[in-house]
Structure 1
């Protein structure tokens, strides 16, 4: 199932009806750290709970054939995470582990360490271990296609998490609505420019995420489409930050040398923004809150560094996700799938804009500061 921005109107949002009926996997289909060994697996939960016992006796997956586990029911779940060098993905890992424990699944997991080919190899290795479902957090939406197709051929359902796949059959994709997230960043900048100048105008820098990921592409689409509605706001530079602090630091350093007047920066994630903030500091262009020459910075994800930077006046806002709860939701859909309940093709976890005005509010506490639960 390729991710397509035109399908956003079909996303299931938190609290909305589940929508479409369960999609079945046919027996044959034609078709933003702690290190782990890329191909090593670890067991995070056993199937000794009541739900695990129920799964052991469950009917085969909806394909009508034998499930990938070979025991007639969903028990062993394979999970491939793209990297653990970013706190967000550590949060995803934690959420998958918690979800597996709650649902009574045995979990076998691998860390691809940012290597797309290694991730394909890891996923195929997980399939060879007889997993009953495969959860993927793809490094690259195109590179992961062979692994998805292999799972399809074996009758093993695929669930993608945070990032999608551009080919093969995916049963359910759980992520934030990243197009909407990018648009939220643009709208925030527009409002700040209105406050600064009396009308929406100014110079903006767009630090794009990791090219090749659906999250980066969708956030860029949302941001670019929204900011384009305001012709007096000029995007003076668009450069890949790669969801990476060092790459974003270097990119922003070069941009600052070329453009003496910059009003705001949109970072596709908080690693991008932290890198940008360091470059602004290094260039001697940091201005305090309220100063009309301040370079405003907004990012995404809600990392601990971003929250600290907001408190310290270095960053203005972040559009927070909650990878722990998002990942646990994906595991609950696997339980629904084996129970032959409806599972949404696309499920959007809500985001929340956090700035200095609401960072300590009950609303933010209720949403959850996930990064406080993650240690690297």
Structure 2
């Protein structure tokens, strides 16, 4: 299967070859909300071509070394551990000083952390927002101080953001809906059946965009009925509870779209608990597709509990964002929006050369 190439005009196109995608093991991580400071230099022989071209100690426009502040939403999810790993990789490749905070899922704490980073003299601020509205005061504070803001994976609904790097989440949601329609057509001869939509964390741009993409695409198939839409909140426990209730109400369910792989893992546990698991190929098998490409999802695909995931690559995506900070510091143009490509992974291609080249990022990180 090819990389998802659907992109809206607002996204810059991705032109890097798969051969330029390289990976590093994650450093030991902790989940505290206190700042962590590290100074790094671009001596990593495995850095990407763009990163390796950067000077050993990148300078800001005023001639001093670039000091980047990074606020991650949480480290209780492997995807965000991957983002952290990629930011560290990018900072090392670019020769940046890096100061990090972990908001532990608390939107107000994240605003406080971001403002604290600004007070430490950072020359660029990277945010992975918990809530796209709640983060606005931090973005506006940076704007008032003349400090560029770069958002990663999730955006901000206000203030000026210099560059937003993420997957095209609208296209991702549409890919999930189209996959379900195709599988139902194979099962029934036409696109029909009952589908469950487990929405992501309300208030995040990723959840909003994935839901838009999924809903708009699935609406093209009038005989597919979305019998339930509930928030799974990118959380396994909440998704398990939501899916448990849905299974009790609906005796016939053909497919589940999970806005991320934590949603799908929760749904899989609920299906198992209800005694409704049937193996792939069985006429009563509940088809499940998620997003992100987490280690649990890959294991579930190999075990036949999950059909597919639309994988991202948070390590390379966030390293790319750090390269844009280097460009900005060198007074080079940077894209306002940049989409990293996704890859639909199922049992047929999970161990393929294509998938290995794209990168099973979850094998590169540890929590």
Q: Same fold (TM over 0.5)?
A: yes
Residue 45 of structure 1: aligned partner: 39
Give the match's secondary structure for 1:96. Answer: helix
Q: 2:286 aligns with which of 272, 292, 295?
A: 295
> Does residue 12 of structure 1 match 2:6?
no
CA distance in 1, matches of 2:257, 2:91: 35
Q: CA deviation at 1:51?
A: 5.1
Q: CA deviation at 1:132?
A: 0.4
Q: 2:331 aligns with which of 336, 340, 347?
A: 340
Q: 2:298 aligns with which of 276, 297, 307?
A: 307
CA distance in 2, matches of 1:215, 1:291: 33
Q: CA deviation at 1:37?
A: 2.4
CA distance in 2, matches of 1:215, 1:73: 35
Residue 181 of structure 1: aligned partner: 172
CA distance in 2, matches of 1:47, 1:151: 26
Q: Deviations over 1:172-201 (max 9, x none)?
A: 000000000000000000000000100000
Residue 266 of structure 2: aligned partner: 275
> Does residue 360 of structure 1 match 2:351?
yes
CA distance in 2, matches of 1:189, 1:9: 25
Residue 162 of structure 2: aligned partner: 171
Structure 1, unpaired ranges of 5+: 1-6, 17-32, 61-71
Q: CA deviation at 1:55?
A: 3.0
Structure 2, unpaired ranges of 5+: 1-6, 17-27, 44-52
The runs of at least 4 aligned residues of structure 1 exceeding 4 Å deviation read 47-54
- In the alignment of these two chains, the number of paired residues is 341
Give the match's secondary structure for 2:166. Answer: strand
Q: CA deviation at 1:223?
A: 0.1
Give the match's secondary structure for 1:248. Answer: helix
Q: 2:31 aligns with which of 15, 18, 36?
A: 36
Residue 225 of structure 2: aligned partner: 234
CA distance in 1, matches of 2:316, 2:106: 26
Q: Deviations over 1:274-333 (max 9, x none)?
A: 000000000000001100110000000000000000000000000000000000000000
Q: 1:120 aligns with which of 111, 126, 137?
A: 111
Q: 2:255 aligns with which of 259, 264, 270?
A: 264
Alpha-carbon RMSD across the aligned residues, in angstroms, is: 1.6
Q: CA deviation at 1:35?
A: 3.9
Give the match's secondary structure for 1:84. Answer: coil
Q: Deviations over 1:28-77 (max 9, x none)?
A: xxxxx954321x11123335879566534x533xxxxxxxxxxx445210
Give the match's secondary structure for 1:279. Answer: helix
CA distance in 2, matches of 1:195, 1:53: 54
Q: Is the 8 A contact 2:57 2:96 kept in 1?
A: no
Q: 2:194 aligns with which of 191, 198, 203?
A: 203
CA pair 223-370 structure 1, distance change in 2 beyond 3 A: same
Q: 1:255 aligns with which of 246, 251, 260?
A: 246
CA distance in 2, matches of 1:143, 1:290: 45
Residue 61 of structure 2: aligned partner: 59
CA distance in 1, matches of 2:335, 2:359: 24
Residue 73 of structure 2: aligned partner: 82
